[in-house]
Amino acid sequence: MIDGQDLKKIGVPYLRENISIVQQEPLLFNETIKTNIKYGRLDADDHDIRTSAVQANAMGFIMQNDEDVSTLSVQERIKTNF
């Protein structure tokens, strides 16, 4: 049961689209920040990526960098600063 709803009556595709895991420790794949954000939705455009970063309260550390969020060096520095 989730919120009083029988799981058997909720479709698996719906659950997969609406449930996620948030780990306690930040984890970035060995890719750019932009690519890491896109793992949540592969068809996301730049506006969607920025919106996601704002909602995740990540823009502060992203904007502290002079380089574009698409570069691996920015992603590496962010991992180091955590």
Q: Name the residue ranges covered by the structural domains of the chain.
A: 7-81
Q: 2 has which bridge partners?
A: 5
Q: What is the pLDDT of residue 44?
A: 92
* pLDDT tier, 26 (very low <50, low <70, confident <90, very high otherwise): low
* pLDDT tier, 61 (very low <50, low <70, confident <90, very high otherwise): confident
Average pLDDT over residues 17-46: 80
Q: Is the pTM of this model over 0.85?
A: no
Average pLDDT over residues 44-51: 90
C-alpha span between 5 and 66 (Å, rounded): 48
82 C-beta neighbours (distance < 10 Å), count: 9
